[in-house]
Amino acid sequence: MDNPLNGTPVRTGVHTVPGRESLLTKISDLQTEIGQLQEAIVSHTVIDHAIGVVITLGGLRPDQGFEVLREVSQHTNIKLRQISEELVNWVHGEQLPDEIRNALDRALAAARSR
């Protein structure tokens, strides 16, 4: 008997734990999923902040704010999260790329006319 664990002797190298590999795989899968969920929370927060920027800029309803972001993303071929990050950073003093600014102006004008 080797490696006492909490005062209890444990045999190592003699028996394998049934399903050990599947447990390790499951743990790895869950860790991956946790990472993805954490990233999704951050992404969702940034998008929500960007919607706030858009509705404030355009005097729009929240549903229109999301549609404007979606249109800007589609017309620039830039992911929605990246568009959102650019807008939030712009509010904090960074430059807004011309491509995004132009697409935003067009999308805001279209949303206001609806």
Mean pLDDT, range 97-108, rounded to an integer: 97
Tokens of 10: 């444990």
Domain total in the chain: 1
Query: 18: number of CA atoms within 13 Å, CB side?
Result: 0
Cα separations (Å) of 37 from 33, 34, 66, 110? 6, 5, 21, 34
Q: Supply the pLDDT for residue 2.
A: 47
What one-letter code names the amino acid at 27?
A: I
In a domain, 61, yes or no: yes
**pLDDT over 60 at 7, yes or no:** no
In a domain, 1, yes or no: no
52 class by beta-carbon count within 10 Å (0-12 exposed, 13-18 middle, 19+ buried): middle
CA–CA dist 113, 92 (Å, integer): 28
pLDDT digit string, tens, across residues 23-79: 888 888 888 888 888 887 878 899 999 999 999 999 999 889 999 999 999 999 999
**pLDDT over 70 at 4, yes or no:** no
Expressed as residue numbers, the domain containing 33 is 16-113
In a domain, 78, yes or no: yes
Sorting pLDDT into bands at 50, 70 and 90, what band is 114?
confident
Averaged pLDDT score across all residues of the chain: 86
Q: Supply the pLDDT for residue 30.
A: 82
Tokens of 100: 């995004």
Q: Enter the pTM of the model.
A: 0.69
Tokens of 5: 């664990």
- Cα-based torsion angle of the residue sequence 44, 47, 52, 58 in order, rounded to the nearest 10 degrees: -150
Q: Supply the pLDDT for residue 34.
A: 86
In a domain, 27, yes or no: yes
